[in-house]
Structure 1
Amino acid sequence: MRRIKTDESERGVVAPLTAILLVFLLGMTALAVDVGMMYSEHAQLQNGADSSALAIAQACAASPPAAACSTPLSSASVYANGNAVDEHSNVVTATVNAGTVDVTTESRDDAGNNHLSLVFARVLGIDTTVIHASAQAKFGGFMAGNVFPLSFSKCESDPGFTKALQFFPEHGNAIADMPGYECVTPSSSGLEVPGGFGWLDHPAGSCTASVNIADPWVGTNTGHNYDSDCATLLNKWGAILSQPGGTVDILIPIFDDVRGTGANAEFHIEAFAQISLRGWNFGGGTKLPKDYMTPDATVLHDQLVADKDIKLKNSDNGIYGEFIKKVSLAELGTLGGPTTYGALGAKLSN
């Protein structure tokens, strides 16, 4: 019989390969376990920084300011430790300056060392790592931002409104007085706030009106035609809505009172209505930017025109959309407004 020869040069290869693979496997274990632990630590630190910054800002916004405003470092430590699973976090900085609170936290172990102790990464010579998280909050007077210069009466934007897609008629159209569309709300002065909507005053060349929470009376822009300053924005909305699945959600100021007449009329803004836009008919136009309707808005339009009780005319102005919810002035507001009226608040800003 012939003897099968073996390759003696391959003896002992398994041992070094196993050693190499073991290092690789340990490295993967370190990646899976230690990195996961690092992510968890950062999430805890971020929660601690966020809650600390917001709590201190709220303390500073109180009248008079609460104690946490004058002792931000010790106050931040309480919230940072409270948001840590092991109840150990280090607050590196916690400062209050010009309406802004900044907080930075970092990891801390049970022994008081400002680092996170790793487990499997020690095999690779990495014993610890330092993790930081930062947060910023602002406090002061609320000041609402700029919005589309169109305003609805409060009763047209009732959160209990059950209609889905609907037509919001402009004030002055006959349809606004029809059952189901009539909208009158007694005001504190005993007057009735007219239904429909009206254009608001705004700077020339701009398509935004500013609403200030401290003094939410906004002048009206007389006339029924669409605002030519909004042509670019309306064309943009039309282009988005014409795409499959395209949606445009807008915030419309809601007024609950009116004073003055004609060019001197002013609306008192109470909140904002979030509306999913489907189209509009401004100034009796037949194409963008004056007029645009999605297919479902066109169906609704044709139904309203055909309804003998409503008798909508093609020249009647308004917008088509679905009311989503009411947004308070404070929810939309940015901080930095006057504090004369006591409209103080605090928000996370970073």
Structure 2
Amino acid sequence: MIVALLLGSGVLLGLAALVVDVGNLYVERAQLQGGADAAAVRVAQRCAVAPDGCASVPADDLAEAYAGRNANDGVAAADVCGPRVGLGDCPAPTGSLTDCVRPAPATGPYVEVHTGTRQRDGTTVLPPVFAQAVLDEFDGVRVSTCARTAWGAPAAATVLPLAFSACDWNRYGRTPDGVERSFPVYDETASTTCAPGGGTGGGPGGFRWLTDAATGCRLAVTVGRDYPVDTGDRTPTGCRNTDLDDLARAGRPILVPVFGAVSGSGGNAEYTVSGVAAFVVTGWRLPGAGIETGPACAGTATSCVSGYFTRTIVPGGGVIGGPDLGARIVTPVG
């Protein structure tokens, strides 16, 4: 009797409409948000390395391709905007679910990707399954989402704890040419006046290992902070020889700290990280660590690292806002 009454009043039908159609909206939104996230990262990567490819039409096409891959039916609408030449202005926040979850950065380049419902027939409304049976004039809704990704030089990042003198970056990092060079252990008694962004790098260079590396030979650093160093060519705890061999074989860029000042000496020395650069390791000659691969050291040095600075995006994320030493990171910001 109760069931018949509910059926007769349309309550069960209304509940079915609510459960099924609202569920479809959640699924649609999840797919669109995933597509917006992926598209924003990919477009930001393109803009970071090729500004000419950041124009609105190529960016929109790239965003739609990534958004569509995340949709069950393979189709989604996507628009790209941002404070970049060739991109349109982003819409003002509306206080609704269509906004990015955080405010836009006050400075620095970023892109927003706004995704929305699109059917294979070109319509932009998600049709109801049951709701139209209850509400005759309800034809469906358009679901929209937003994702924002920024890029720039890192102010904080997880790096290989291999710190290079700013003198070396001034000499070789301003116009990276991919030529392999040898970097000896840094001599603390030498001049420490080099600084990224200024001077010609006429002072001596070299490297030192920062201590307290985590497993996998990585260390979180922040520009402007001081870090203790290991003496000589001994690798820090957390850096296995196999980790270093893998880096030399891979030939891919990694983030490394650049130091511009030294305080103390020997086991009490601390190096000030003045920036983060992108570096490709090609070989090691570290007798104190028992690892000797790659080319011989230059001159009379017996311990050295071989490789070259480069300009590129390095995966891993971090905090944007450091000096431009060639490394770029891409990170979601809304």
TM normalised by structure 1 equals 0.47
Hey, which of these two has a bigger chunk of helix by percent? 1
Q: Which has the greater radius of gyration?
A: 1
